[in-house]
Structure 1
Amino acid sequence: MKSCLIVDDSKTVRMVAKRILEELSFSTREACDGQEALQLCESEMPDAILLDWNMPVKNGIDFLRELRGKVGVNQPVVIFCTTENGLSHIHEAIAAGADEYIMKPFDSGIVESKFSQVGLI
């Protein structure tokens, strides 16, 4: 079973994403900010990360840059899932190492499509 770390400061968003991903046969773990996500990745690297941009403590883009900067680490697929919909944000995310980008609000069809596009389902 593939695993996905859901990183979002909204408990509601994490709950919805968890339900969708579990229906797609993913095991899930959750983090409420980028710092907690880094700690979880150090203990067990997931196959995928669904990542919000705007969070306290450590935001999504800083988390992604730090994650991608780790040498010799099995790198997961990272899909941003955020309200930041400007082209500059999308370009910045891709340049930092994001594999895909989902705009909030999202539904199961969008999540399934993006995870399929990156080869996870």
Structure 2
Amino acid sequence: MSRILYVEDNDDNVYVLKGRLTRKGHTVIVASDGAQGVAMAAAERPEIILMDLSLPVLDGWEATRRIKAGAATRHIPVIALTAHAMTGDREKALAAGCDDFDTKPVDIERLLGKIQALLGRGGAP
């Protein structure tokens, strides 16, 4: 399937989502803060990035801006994930360079559909 970079600082969220994505055939690598996410995006070159927005060191918005500013990483689709979906958060995430937006708790089928759409692999998950 695909190689996914999941940038998330909550161990429980990592455990659950990484497990679900792995069972669906994806390879998931994890960064625990925004700065590590930027570094891993450049070093690991994942096919897609799932970006929590509330992160230590560097928030998800700024991490996404940096990923999208890098010549080697700007093409990688980023899906923002947040538990605090406030009015304007979707627009703010898209303005920062995110290609899509989803809320937590994650609906795995909906998220898989977004991943497939961004990777140009349409069809059922």
Structure 2: which 5+ residue stretches go unaligned?
A: none
Q: How many residues align?
A: 121
Q: Using the alignment, how far apart are the partners of 1:65 and 1:24 within structure 2? A: 29
Deviation string, structure 1 residues 43-101 (Cα, Å, up to 9, x no partner): 12100111100111111001000111113546211111111312311101111211111
Q: Using the alignment, how far apart are the partners of 2:72 and 2:79 within structure 1? A: 21
2:77 aligned residue: 77
2:22 paired with 1:53: no
Sort the Cα spacing of 1:58 and 1:114 in 2 relative to 1 into closer, same or farther, 3 A.
same
| Structure 1, 79-88 or 59-68: larger mean CA deviation | 79-88
1:14 aligned residue: 14
Task: Give the TM-score normalised by structure 1.
Answer: 0.89
2:87 aligned residue: 87
Structure 1: which 5+ residue stretches go unaligned?
A: none
Question: Taking every aligned residue pair, what percent have the same amino acid on both sides?
Answer: 26
2:115 aligned residue: 115
The 4+ residue runs of structure 1 with deviation greater than 3 A are none
2:21 paired with 1:24: no
- RMSD of aligned alpha carbons: 1.7
Contact 2:47 2:76 in 1 (8 A): yes
Task: Give the TM-score normalised by structure 2.
Answer: 0.86
